[in-house]
Amino acid sequence: MSSLERIVVRDIISEDLAMRSSAAELFEALDGLNGDTVEVDFEGVKSCTRSFADEYDQRKRLSTKSIREVNMPTSVHQLLMAVANPKKKDQIVDIERLKVNVL
């Protein structure tokens, strides 16, 4: 039987999610919970950096727990989706054909 645990991001870190180390701290708290299903509550979160989002995404993928986010602001959700599904960037310079002249 699975048990549901709940963690409030603002209470563990802050309302501004800025650093990779903050995401690591969140997952240390999350991993310390007994339940195998965790509800991560983003209520009150105001901002999020790409660094935090990337680390959160990586840690979530590696976690053995089932994680469900609730009350996530649209801006945070969009950033997490962007880091989870990166778009292929077009190559601007073809290094194979690049010719360098010595001055």
Q: What integer is the mean pLDDT of 3-9? A: 90
pTM of the model: 0.80
In a domain, 100, yes or no: no
Domain that holds residue 21: 4-85
pLDDT in tens, 22-48: 999 999 999 999 889 999 999 999 999
The pLDDT of residue 4? 86
The pLDDT of residue 54? 96
- Are 22 and 54 contacting, i.e. CB atoms less than 8 angstroms apart? no
- Are 23 and 17 contacting, i.e. CB atoms less than 8 angstroms apart? yes
Q: What angle do CA 92, 93, 94 make, to 5 degrees?
A: 125
In a domain, 36, yes or no: yes
Q: Report how many domains make up the chain.
A: 1
Q: What integer is the mean pLDDT of 13-28? A: 95
